[in-house]
């Protein structure tokens, strides 16, 4: 038990991430934006490894920023922490006088801390109010979605963001259940999902609640739209010889990264800008997505689903 708790806090694909970023960060006074700072695990190791690196760490979760601030305090002014959604990456950089950075890291999804915090409602294994907002100060929470949305809307969310084939059955059962009493806890929702899925399917494929919980989390935090805006903005921010690494954990996220990287690495006209000041091109550093090593998957459950992609900006 102790081992599992400890392992969950090890940053995923740490060595590979550092290896991919190293050429870009081996310059004088490099800057890296950690767009998903979380508990600062990757950032801490990068600051240790590169003596004059400065990191701007973004997170939309204030409690993650507080914990990261304590962990990273010894690096003093080499770290700047920013409470923001990562599609604001260009503004975050420009407000600090930066138009280009040498490295960018996205380690997507929720952190182990968010899953462990029993009051956040991310985990189907802890009984908690259904919330699931990464920034609890704003937006619609999962309890509002589950108790107010129509069958059609719930089905779409669960199917599209959870890739759940029993979406319509789950939505119907949620609606039946909430006629009796509002569905307000994670355990109550997990039970409804379990009952919606045919018994034969329940025996295979892990916890049946996993996909629906993922779907609600993605919807509540508007994760797909935000990511679709953030990746092109981040690509624009890379300096020549700058590198970006993205760790994603499900196919919807990975597809967005794959497409955005393919778009800039294959198009002849540099993407987006009407007038490119200096012709640049992007080169994929990972042919297709990479997985974590077998040893890492064995010791860190979160690493089992990671897909690693990296790209470099070059002078054309």
The site for ligand SAM (CB under 6 A) is made up of: 11, 36, 38-42, 58-61, 64, 85-86, 107, 109-111, 134, 226
| Of 143 and 246, CB closest to ligand SAM | 246
Closest distance of CB 202 from ligand SAM, Å? 29
Closest distance of CB 302 from ligand SAM, Å? 8
Closest distance of CB 4 from ligand SAM, Å? 17
| Of 14 and 177, CB closest to ligand SAM | 14
14 token code pair: 């740490």
CA dist 58 and 104 (Å) reads 11
Collapsing DSSP to helix, strand or coil, 39 comes out as coil
| Of 86 and 161, CB closest to ligand SAM | 86
Closest distance of CB 199 from ligand SAM, Å? 34
61 token code pair: 């979760």
Closest distance of CB 145 from ligand SAM, Å? 18
CA dist 182 and 149 (Å) reads 12
| Of 188 and 246, CB closest to ligand SAM | 246
CA dist 308 and 21 (Å) reads 12
Closest distance of CB 46 from ligand SAM, Å? 10
| Of 38 and 242, CB closest to ligand SAM | 38
Residue by residue, DSSP assigns 176-236 as HHHHHS---BHHHHHHHHHHHS-HHHHTSSS-THHHHHHHHHHHHTTHHHHHHHHHHHHHH
Closest distance of CB 265 from ligand SAM, Å? 24
| Of 31 and 122, CB closest to ligand SAM | 122
136 token code pair: 């609890």
| Of 111 and 300, CB closest to ligand SAM | 111
| Of 16 and 42, CB closest to ligand SAM | 42
Burial class (CB in 10 A: 0-12, 13-18, 19+), 277: exposed
Please state, as a whole number, how many other Cβ atoms lie within 10 Å of the Cβ of residue 67. 18
Q: Which residues, in sequence order, are CB contacts of 269 under 8 Å at separation 6+?
A: none
Beta strands in the chain (DSSP E): 31-34, 54-59, 79-83, 101-107, 238-248, 280-284, 307-315
CA dist 65 and 69 (Å) reads 6
Closest distance of CB 90 from ligand SAM, Å? 13
Collapsing DSSP to helix, strand or coil, 140 comes out as coil
């Amino acid at each position: 038990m102790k081992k599992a708790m400890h392992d969950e806090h090890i940053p995923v694909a740490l060595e590979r991430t550092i290896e991919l970023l190293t050429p870009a960060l081996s310059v004088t006074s490099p800057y890296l934006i950690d767009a998903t700072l979380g508990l600062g695990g990757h950032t801490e190791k990068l600051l240790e490894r590169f003596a004059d690196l400065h990191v701007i760490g973004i997170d939309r979760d204030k409690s993650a920023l507080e914990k990261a601030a304590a962990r990273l305090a010894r690096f003093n002014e080499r770290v700047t922490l920013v409470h923001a959604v990562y599609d604001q990456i260009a503004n975050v950089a420009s407000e600090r006088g930066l138009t280009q950075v040498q490295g960018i890291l996205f380690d997507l999804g929720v952190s182990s801390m968010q899953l462990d915090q029993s009051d956040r409602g991310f985990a189907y294994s802890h009984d908690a109010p259904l919330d699931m907002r990464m920034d609890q100060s704003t937006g619609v929470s999962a309890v509002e979605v589950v108790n107010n949305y129509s069958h059609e809307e719930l089905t779409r969310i669960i199917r599209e963001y959870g890739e759940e084939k029993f979406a319509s059955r789950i939505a119907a059962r949620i609606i039946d259940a909430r006629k009796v009493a509002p569905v307000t806890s994670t355990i109550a929702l997990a039970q409804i999902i379990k009952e919606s899925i045919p018994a034969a399917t329940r025996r295979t494929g892990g916890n049946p609640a996993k996909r629906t919980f993922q779907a609600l989390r993605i919807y509540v935090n508007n994760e797909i739209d935000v990511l679709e805006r953030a990746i092109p903005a981040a690509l624009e921010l890379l300096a020549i010889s700058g590198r970006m690494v993205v760790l994603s954990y499900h196919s919807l996220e990975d597809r967005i990264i794959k497409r955005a990287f393919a778009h800039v690495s294959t198009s002849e006209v540099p993407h987006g800008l009407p007038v490119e000041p200096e012709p640049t091109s992007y080169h994929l550093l990972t042919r297709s997505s990479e997985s974590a090593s077998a040893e890492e998957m064995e010791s860190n459950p979160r690493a089992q689903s990671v897909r690693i992609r990296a790209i470099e900006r070059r002078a054309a």
